């Protein structure tokens, strides 16, 4: 598979994260507003999850463009690229925040998932900075 495959995968991940981030932001602001307001930090935490998700969706779109224009970027066959690590981190970070806000799932598992997701996002940024798209 060529770099175009990597670029396309990152573009698709970006679109998924971006679209679902907008939908979750709207859902939280309207349909879940009352439920999220029951917790002192419910709305703020939800907004944090949405903000990081949308920010990283845009970042992944940029990484996709870098990947498609750089012949030295990693091949799609490699398991881990900065963009893929960033996408996984975003899903874990924001996803665990959403679930914690809604009291869905075990807090003992979800609590540590948030910082793990954050570390993966940071790692993805570092990898991108090293040219490992």
Read off the pLDDT of residues 36-67 as tens digits, 9 standing for 90 and up.
Answer: 999 999 999 999 999 999 999 999 999 999 88
Q: What is the mean pLDDT of the chain?
A: 91
Checking if the pLDDT of 74 tops 90, the result is no
Cβ atoms of 127 and 85 closer than 8 Å = yes
Task: Tell me how many degrees the CA angle 18-22-27 measures, rounded to the nearest 5.
Answer: 145
The strand ranges marked E within the chain are none
Per-residue model confidence (pLDDT) at position 32: 97
Q: What is the pLDDT of residues 21-40, one digit of tens each?
A: 999 999 999 999 999 999 99
Site of tokens 């779109």: 61
Q: Please tell me the distance from the alpha carbon of residue 125 to that of residue 118, in angstroms, as a whole number.
A: 11
Q: Please tell me the distance from the alpha carbon of residue 132 to that of residue 23, in angstroms, as a whole number.
A: 30
Q: What is the pLDDT of residues 86-102, one digit of tens each?
A: 999 999 999 999 999 99
């Amino acid at each position: 598979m060529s770099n175009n495959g990597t670029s396309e995968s990152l573009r698709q991940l970006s679109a998924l994260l971006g679209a679902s981030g907008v939908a979750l932001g709207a859902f939280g602001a309207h349909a879940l507003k009352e439920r999220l307001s029951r917790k002192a930090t419910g709305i703020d935490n939800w907004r944090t999850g949405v903000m990081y998700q949308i920010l990283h969706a845009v970042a992944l779109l940029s990484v996709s463009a870098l990947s498609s224009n750089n012949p030295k970027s990693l091949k799609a066959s490699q398991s881990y690229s900065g963009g893929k690590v960033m996408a996984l981190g975003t899903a874990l970070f924001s996803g665990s925040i959403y679930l914690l806000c809604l009291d869905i799932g075990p807090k003992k598992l979800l609590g540590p998932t948030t910082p793990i997701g954050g570390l993966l996002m940071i790692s993805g940024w570092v990898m991108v900075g090293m040219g490992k798209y």
